[in-house]
Structure 1
Amino acid sequence: MIHWKVGLIGTMYGKLELVNGRWKLSEVHPHVVIRLKQLFPRVAMKQAGTFLFSNRSNICTDLVWFTQRFPMEITSEDRAKLLRGHDKFFEKKAYLEQILTPDYDPILRPGLKPGQKIRHYQLQAIDLCLERRSLLLGDDLGLGKTYTAAGMLLEPDTHPAAVVVQAHLQDQWKEKIESFTELIVHKIERTRPYSLPVADVYLFKYSQLAGWKNFFADGHFQCVIYDEIQELRTGLTSNKGEAAKILSDAAEFRLGLSATPIYNYGTEIWNVLQFLDPDLLGTYSEFIREWCSNDRKVHDPVVLGSFLREHNVMLRRTKREVGQQLPPVNQIVEVVEPDLSKLKSVKAQAKQLALKASQGTYLERGSAARELDLLMRQATGVAKAAGVAQYAKQLLEAGIPLLLVGWHRDVYEIWLKELADYRPAMYTGSESDMQKIESVRRFVQGETNVFILSLRSGAGLDGLQYCCSTILFGELDWSPKVHEQIIGRLNREGQEEKITVVYLNAEEGSDRVMLDVLGVKHAQSEEIIDPHDLTNTKPIQKLNRTQALVNQVL
């Protein structure tokens, strides 16, 4: 219960009233204005005279707290409205906490196809997002986030909904929603607006967003769902990011899906949340000031992860927590012999770039560092490509299907030549959507036992777990979450075998440096996503990938 008090000898420090659905503070004493701006950072420092605030329940709660310290003139009617907002905030908070209890009785909505079922943990996520209006769902890879999203779209208030997916997953999403629900789904076909047919759900590719920016501003979509929302981790610096921000701001409900929302450093979580709950972490400068020790590294990721959970903006359950624990992944690091002539051929150029990256001007250092990274990774991949192919042959000769993961086209060409007898299926950045679908079909149906997959092309891909349990990483990515996404293609429901992951590395080249740096990034992302996982207790070393690569070369 709130007890309203007056200041010393009945002093009032300003006037508070509800005007056109917003709270208006006026006639505020100067010293109180100073405190107001300190406590409400969204208030501009140069603003004076009148201050406007939203009538949302969390703002009402803050205003009640502030006016207890600095009483304001307010009518009885407005005071009652302010208290209702305050009470609603705590009622909602209690309900959100209740949703996540094991004995919660979720709301069941009609619209599933006969024989289909939404699991209890998925229903909890649905109700949480619908009540809160925004959610980052980070459930473990393979726990059915796609079906959770489809189940949420059974709520009529979400229609029409926009679902944004990676280019190669548009058909997969359409097939899953239509086989799981009675919803009408339309797949967006162009990069510019056209007359849309009547549907409940519209499937966009991320690459199509920019051309629809003006259409999004009209508020056509009540709900937006971002599959693999890490696609927006660079924030508003891209055209797709700008368009997605407009789409999010106009939507009533916002759901982001990703078991790996952070690919590199912890600051990416601020960018991701701009599309879901943009006010939660403050402005970027505030976030950097309060949460980070430098421009990218969160100084206490465990506390940040706990904060996001306490505010129910991020929900993550592991396979163990929902009773679907699979056997632990068997991870092996093997050394393959590289073709040293490939590395020696770039030695002089690499040394020149390394010197420039460490001793050049500011602009020269940045450019040289990027060139050195590209040069050394490609040279390393090419140098060990034949060795990787020979390792793969040993497994293929034993009849073991495998995912062979790489990055560079030159590396793929060597693999295709060395493994030609096995007729590899290709799923990289060069194939069309139809070619990728055909590659999946060939692999799943046993027409080939080798599936060459690009490091950054596998997110969201489903179905491979039914025919394969072995992954060979022939090249590495700087982000540990990219590797986790690849592993998640096999380590998911439907997998009946223990997963074996083999990292094939060369002692020379960039591999050793990458393995060291990957440990740092893994610690950042894991402690935000799983802040209470006691296995994440390794101290974070201060490793800079450019400096480490320069040291390796020199």
Structure 2
Amino acid sequence: MAIVRTFGKLEFDVNDKQWIISEAAPHVCIKLKSIFPKIPKHETVPFKIMHSTENCLDLAWFIDRYPLEMCNSHKAILQGGKAKQLKRLDRLESILLPSYSPKDSELKHPAKARHYQQVARDVNIGCNRMLLGDDLGLGKTVSGILMLLESSNRPAAVVCPIHLVKHWTMKIAEFTDLSVHEIKTRKIYSLPPADVYIIRYSTIMGWVDVFSQGIIKYALFDEIQDLRHDATSKYNSAKVLADNATRVTGLSATPIYNYADEIFNVLNLIKPDCLGSYNDFIREWAGGCMSNKIIIKDPKALGTYLRENFLFLRRTRADVGMELPRINTIVQNVDYDEAEVERFEELARILAIKVTQGSFMERGQAARELDMRARQVTGVAKAKAVAVFVRMLIESGEPVLLGGWHREVYDIWQEELNDLQPVFYTGTESSRQKNESEKRFINGDTNLMIMSLRSGIGVDGLQKRCSTVVYGELDWSKKVHQQFTARIDRPGQTNPVTEYYLTSDAGSDPLIIDLLALKESQATGIIDPLQAVSEQYSDESRIKMLAQQYLTKKQ
């Protein structure tokens, strides 16, 4: 029997649950540190590696190339861990097969999760830490809620931007019976018992000491691209929460940027060292610099690597098209300029009084002005937030038809999105200019067409280029929206159409949304599609309701 040369010694510490490598040759130490980045570059033997099935698989692979002296009992432990990890990987791969049958969700009746949302949950449970990057409109919120329903994941923490706090609170209540507590301040206090704690990114830094105790079993970071800069207190506070949780999910439709350091930071927060050390990652994946940013040399290769290692799961609308309705309607709350709204409040109150108490002539004139000004102010107040949302869609590869009404709003969009070279189809452009805009959009010269809500009658061809509508401003008439969406939802459209209603909590939007009877549940298509016919309101009644809204606000 040939004598096998060994390059060191490997032992298992039963008490501390770690592997100890000693007496390793120098060149073996260098190779070992490249595979296990948690070993500091300056450290010398003995090296200590925490016991996990993942580490067992890597150690078993390593000693095939560099045999290490081991006793039989420790070898059995290593092989057992390796076998469990291989079984785990086989299980994860089987979940992604079309034939996979997930367990039923426990959402409130009649809500029902889609197959691909349940797949996301099961992959997340299997790999513990994952970045979910499904396309906008595919219901990442529901995928996250399915994770919250797992008893082993509670108590859980949902960390999100301030404008999504209400969204998460409402969705959890809509689809589950879980108890929720919103943490609104950085000042620490005794937390009441709850299944889910919702906290803003801007607040999390005050709770580092609490989260470091490991009281949170599962951490979900919505719009995790907010954490792409690791030099911020927000990032480091979030990392304390993530490091002390058993499972972690990051949600973002646009999580993968071409900037290497930002990609690294996001994934390193979700699963530390999953990409090795920062220097190792830059050496392997970076391809140059632009504006002091390190660029990934082959983004597609990185994306493939992340998917194959179950660090990143992404499905496009095309991937799950058979499960989507013909039109997928999404109501998305966005930020607004409070100062802009406040400047209008006093005028709105005066007009509202005239609408309800003035003479016949005064009522008519005041109603028209209140309607016009309220919608204009609402559109201007949220215009920049709308631009951010539209940019996110376009940068994820989606051409967008953006609907609006007021010139002041168009001007803001043009300024904010000028680098995307938008074309306009509104009441200002001549017929020739409109035709040119239509041609440029259809030919792919630009990915953004800004169109007036009541323009474009008879336009055909947009459906060959675009399947995404964004309502940056709203109309009182549901028919106007239906006709506008029909600009792309017509014969020749090969993809499911998604329409986004971007709304604010101020101005005319809340009332318009109520009157249009838009259902947020359509956003993910998990509620029974059969709905009662919505109540219709006359022009006179809705203006009186708008006036009453401003009068009530001042009482």
Which range, TM-score by smaller chain?
A: 0.5 to 0.7
1:177 lines up with 2:104 in the alignment: no
1-side partners of 2:282 and 2:122: how far apart?
32
| Secondary structure of 2:48 counterpart | strand
| Structure 1 residue 153: Cα displacement | 0.7
Letter in 2 for 1:140: D
**Number of residue pairs matched by the alignment:** 384
User: Letter of the aligned partner of 2:305 in structure 1?
Assistant: F
Which of 451, 455, 463 pairs up with 2:384?
455
Letter in 2 for 1:89: Q
Aligned equivalents of 1:479 and 1:75: distance in 2?
Answer: 64
Determine the structure 2 residue equivalent to 1:311: 309
Contact map agreement 1:458 1:489 (CA 8 A) in 2: no
Match for residue 354 of structure 1? Answer: none
| Equivalent of residue 41 in structure 2, options 41, 45, 55 | 45
Residue deviations 1:199-254 (CA, integer Å, cap 9, x gap): 1001001110111111111111000001111111112x111111100000000010
* Structural mapping, 1:67-216, within 5 Å: 67-110=63-106, 112-216=107-211
- Is residue 2:292 matched to residue 1:298? no
Q: Which amino acid aligns with 2:108?
A: K
CA distance in 2, matches of 1:204, 1:175: 14
- SS of the residue corresponding to residue 131 of structure 2 reads strand
**Who is 1:54 aligned against?**
50
**Alpha-carbon separation, structure 1, partners of 2:182 and 2:335:** 30
Residue 285 of structure 1: aligned partner:
279
The structural deviation recorded for 1:457 is 6.9
| Aligned 8 A contact 2:387 2:417 in 1 | no
Cα distance in 2, alignment partners of residues 192 and 153 from structure 1: 25
What amino acid sits opposite 2:379 in the alignment? F
- What residue identity is the alignment partner of 2:375? T
Distance in 1 between residues matched to 2:44 and 2:67, nearest whole Å: 19
Shift in CA distance, 248/287, structure 1 to aligned 2, threshold 3 Å: same
The answer as to whether partners of 1:16 and 1:23 remain within 8 angstroms in 2 is yes
Equivalent of 2:253 in 253, 259, 275? 259
Pick the aligned partner of 1:470 from 390, 398, 403: 403
Partner of 1:220: 215
Q: In the aligned structure 1, how far is the partner of 2:160 from the partner of 2:487?
A: 27
* CA gap 1:286/1:454 in 2 versus in 1, 3 angstroms: farther
Instruction: State the alpha-carbon separation in 1 of the partners of residues 26 and 335 from structure 2.
Output: 63
Give 1:418-497 correspondences, 5 Å limit: 448=375, 451-452=379-380, 453-456=382-385, 470=403, 472=410, 473-476=413-416, 497=485
- Distance (Å, rounded) in 1 between the aligned partners of 2:48 and 2:39: 9
1:89 Cα deviation after fit: 1.7
Partner Cα separation in structure 2 for residue 215 and residue 227 of structure 1 = 20
**Aligned partner of 2:415: which letter?**
E
> Offset at 1:260?
1.3
Deviations 1:392-437 (A, max 9, x none): xxxxxxxxxxx9x999999x79x99xxx9xx9xxxxxxxxxxxxxx
Q: How many angstroms does 1:310 deviate by? A: 0.8
In the alignment, the residues of structure 2 paired with residue 290 and residue 128 of structure 1 have an alpha-carbon distance, to the nearest angstrom, of: 27
Q: How does 1:334-373 map to 2 (within 5 A)?
A: none
Q: Distance in 1 between matches of 2:403 and 2:120?
A: 32
Asked if the contact 1:406–1:454 (Cα under 8 Å) also holds between the matched residues in 2, the reply is no
How far did residue 266 of structure 1 move? 4.5
Q: In 2 relative to 1, CA 60–458 (structure 1 residues): closer, same or farther, beyond 3 Å?
A: farther
TM-score (norm 2): 0.61
Equivalents in 2 of 1:457, 1:9: separation in Å?
Answer: 70
Q: Percent identity?
A: 38
Q: Deviations over 1:136-166 (max 9, x none)?
A: 1111111111111111111000100000111
CA distance in 2, matches of 1:156, 1:162: 13
- Mapped contact 2:144–2:220 kept (Cα < 8 A): yes
TM-score computed with the length of structure 1 as normaliser = 0.62
Change (3 A) 1:108 1:47: same
Give the CA deviation at 1:478. 9.0
- Which amino acid letter does the alignment assign opposite residue 63 of structure 1? L
Which residues in structure 2 correspond to 1:395-434 (within 5 Å)? none
SS of the equivalent of 1:102 reads coil
8 Å contact from structure 1 (residues 230, 263) kept in 2: no
Partner Cα separation in structure 2 for residue 201 and residue 184 of structure 1 = 6
Find the residue that maps to 1:195 and give its secondary structure: coil
Q: Residue type matched to 1:205 in 2?
A: R
Q: Counterparts of 2:243 and 2:307 in 1: how far apart (Å)?
A: 22
Tell me the secondary structure at the aligned position of residue 187 of structure 1. Answer: strand
Cα distance in 2 for residues equivalent to 1:265 and 1:31: 33
Deviation of 1:130 (Å): 1.0
CA shift, 1:31, in A, is: 4.5
Q: Distance in 1 between matches of 2:33 and 2:268?
A: 23
Which letter does structure 1 place at the counterpart of 2:145?
Answer: A
Given residue 246 of structure 1, which amino acid in structure 2 is its aligned partner?
V
Matched residues in 2 for 1:53 and 1:73: separation? 16
- On the 8 A contact 1:228/1:459 being kept in 2, the answer is no
What does the per-residue CA deviation read over 1:318-355, in whole Å, with 9 as the maximum and x for residues that have no partner?
122212668899xxxxxxxxxxxxxxxxxxxxxxxxxx
Q: Does 1:231 align with 2:226?
A: yes
Contact in 1 for aligned 2:205/2:233 (Cα 8 Å): yes
Per the TM alignment, residue 64 of structure 1 is displaced from its structure 2 partner at its CA by 1.1
SS in 2 for 1:305: helix
2:21 is the alignment partner of 1:25: yes
Q: Which of 1, 4, 7 is 1:13 aligned to?
A: 7
Change in 2 beyond 3 A, CA 1:22/1:319: same
Contact residue 139 and residue 317 of structure 1 kept, 8 A: yes
Comparing 169-178 with 277-286, greater Cα deviation is found at 277-286
User: What amino acid is aligned across from residue 314 of structure 1 in structure 2?
Assistant: F
Indicate how the Cα distance of structure 1 residues 325 and 176 shifts in structure 2: closer, same or farther if over 3 A, else same: closer
Q: Distance in 1 between matches of 2:111 and 2:327?
A: 29
CA offsets 1:359-406 (integer angstroms, 9 cap, x no match): xxxxxxxxxxxxxxxxxxxxxxxxxxxxxxxxxxxxxxxxxxxx9x99
Is 1:36 paired with 2:27? no
Specify whether residues 258 and 455 from structure 1 end up closer, same or farther in structure 2 by C-alpha distance, changes over 3 A only: farther
CA separation in 1, counterparts of 2:128 and 2:267?
13
- Distance in 1, Cα, partners of 2:389 & 2:179: 22
Once residues 264 and 66 of structure 1 are traced to their aligned partners in structure 2, the CA distance between those partners, rounded to angstroms, is 32
Q: Give 5+ residue unaligned stretches, structure 2.
A: 352-369, 391-400, 405-409, 421-446, 451-467, 473-477, 489-497, 499-555
CA distance in 2, matches of 1:163, 1:17: 40
8 Å contact kept, 2:403–2:469: no
> 1:229·1:257 contact (CA, 8 Å) conserved in 2?
yes
Distance 1:252 1:65, change over 3 A: same
CA distance in 1, matches of 2:419, 2:249: 24
Q: Please state how far the C-alpha of 1:267 moved relative to its aligned partner.
A: 3.4
